[in-house]
Amino acid sequence: MLESRRARFLVLISSVLALQACESAPEAADLVLTNGVVATVDEALPDAEAVAIRGDRIVAVGTTQEITRFIGDGTEVVDLDGRFVMPGFIESHGHYIRLGQTKMILDLTDTRSWDDVVGAVRVAVSESAPGAWIEGQGWHQEKWDAPATGPDVVDGVPAHATLSAISPNNPVILQHSSGHAAYANALAMEMSDLGDDTPDPPGGTIVRDASGHATGLLRENADALVYDVMRGTMAIRSESERWQEFDRQVQLAAQEALSKGVTTFHDAGSDFATIDGLKRLADEGRLPIRLYVMIRYETNESMAANLGRYRMIGYGDNHLTVRAIKRQLDGALGSHGAWLLEPYEDMGSSIGLTVETPEEVEGSARIAAEQGFQLNTHAIGDRANRVVLDIYERAFVGRPDGDQMRWRIEHAQHLHPDDVQRFADLGIIAAMQGVHATSDAPWIYARLGADRAASGAYLWRSLMDVGVVIANGTDVPVEDISPVASFYSSVVRQDKSGRDFFPDQRMTRMEALRSYTINNAYAGFEEADKGSITVGKLADIAILDRNLMTVPDEELPGARVEMTIVGGQILYRAGN
Ligand SMILES: [Zn+2]
């Protein structure tokens, strides 16, 4: 009895000591960032210098002096030397697998010599399974630092020997940046039954050297001889080859996102089969960044039957969430596809078109409301936006929590001023793309006329002023995924030639930062875990070479991401 009471007393003392020890020297962190300029996006502590991370979470934020206490024997310490630290960017609207697909095509636009081209293919070969096609694009012999020379050079391009030597087991086809020619290696030509004696096809030339050997260069329609075979073999690949390709697309898209500081990506639309693949990768721990996937390309019947099975929140250590549906009501403004209330200024016979019918969207709205899914509908024209607001409003009837359902309108580019307040009243999030304003500004006046452009184009300020949450993004791969470009466009509002584009609608720097972090976390119901550098949240952090809050406007576009951290892991370092 005495023994046990004494034992309990000792336990009590030691835990008091442990508590005191804890206050003087906290449990060591795994990763500590010091001497930074931290914009936390957390109003409780807006500015800091240092962050301590344990596991995948932030455990402390403060001055370098305060955070130094978290450094132990096993702690990795990154001295930021004044660099800018912010919550990882959240891309609120992109197309993840399509981004990966674009990255599968070798980008040769920066090659400056034939050796560069061969070198790029050599890397691709080392990363590809034998037999896999290697597709490239963008090379141009006029861009080379010095013209290629030698007896085998025809049309400024050497014959295929060096290229074929490094790619014996992979067919290679490299499109010229003009789009009017392509270059094939020996295996690609062999698989296409394309030899020295093959006659030129109509409208095309198989370029041959002085002795009549095909060099690999295929002008105009001649490249179809190879591309057709490539498409044919792609169509009959095995299950495992398809899986490898999918995996590679996912990894390449992640690399691209990480290199731009993006730690979470809202995918604006994948079907169930794609989500199955992403789930498998999540199970294998092979999703590098966090995905918020909207369900797309499924019928309302299929969704009604399967949504429950696909609902995932924070699956795979917070790497995969599925709780939203994507629909698309109209097209885009540039192609006169945006659905307008009044005819186009430059095409008086047209008010645009619908891509999916309002009835289909309304059907999705019913299913989403019943099953507790978010509905995110693409609407660009003012009519499309109004019709979607009408559909959402009807779906919320009888649901007192309607304005808490966080339904979204994707793009929300052109609004009738009367509809601005409705976004606020219904609690609708406007998922807009800052950079689209810059890219589209040149033709907006032509399509809409000056008055409609002034009253309705990209109304960030008007929407924010009535309390609407704006989620920023790029619609990658429509635009580059760079959040910096969209951030710049959001705060500067100029077209590509530097002309102001309704500057009254500019965001402040802080509003733009929030539109890329905490707002997007909110748009994915994830603000408890993401969107600010706050103790307890996931350690998803971007580190840049300059302060997005303070550098002059003209220095913003050059901002470079130097490090990207997801869940406490440094997944990207510039130069590596
Ligand atoms: Zn899109």
Domains of the chain as residue ranges with CATH:
1-82+531-576 (2.30.40.10), 98-235 (3.10.310.70), 329-507 (3.20.20.140)
Give the model's pLDDT for residue 403.
79
Ligand 1 center–CA 389 separation, angstroms:
19
Ligand 1 center–CA 311 separation, angstroms:
22
Ligand 1 center–CA 266 separation, angstroms:
10
Spans of the chain, pLDDT less than 70: 1-24, 576
Ligand 1 center–CA 320 separation, angstroms:
19
- Say which DSSP state 337 is in: -
Provide the pairing of β-strand 84-87 with 89-94.
Answer: unpaired
Ligand 1 center–CA 432 separation, angstroms:
10
Query: What is the separation of C-alpha 319 from the centre of its chain, rounded to a whole number of angstroms?
Result: 15
**Do 100 and 249 form a contact (C-beta atoms < 8 A)?**
yes
Task: Give the whole-angstrom CA distance, residue 507 versus residue 522.
Answer: 18
Give the model's pLDDT for residue 15.
47
Ligand 1 center–CA 505 separation, angstroms:
23
Ligand 1 center–CA 93 separation, angstroms:
6
Ligand 1 center–CA 451 separation, angstroms:
27
Ligand 1 center–CA 357 separation, angstroms:
18
Ligand 1 center–CA 15 separation, angstroms:
55
pLDDT digits (tens, 9 = 90+) for 76-114: 999 999 999 999 999 999 999 999 998 989 999 889 999
Give the model's pLDDT for residue 17.
45
**Do 26 and 53 form a contact (C-beta atoms < 8 A)?**
no
Ligand 1 center–CA 94 separation, angstroms:
6
Give the model's pLDDT for residue 24.
66
pLDDT digits (tens, 9 = 90+) for 420-449: 999 999 999 999 999 998 888 888 999 999
pTM of the predicted structure, to 2 decimals: 0.86
Give the model's pLDDT for residue 496.
81
Ligand 1 center–CA 446 separation, angstroms:
23
Ligand 1 center–CA 417 separation, angstroms:
24
Ligand 1 center–CA 475 separation, angstroms:
5
pLDDT digits (tens, 9 = 90+) for 316-328: 999 999 999 999 9
Ligand 1 center–CA 413 separation, angstroms:
13
pLDDT digits (tens, 9 = 90+) for 138-164: 899 988 998 898 888 998 999 999 999
Ligand 1 center–CA 295 separation, angstroms:
13
Give me the sign of the Cα torsion angle 272, 274, 276, 279: negative
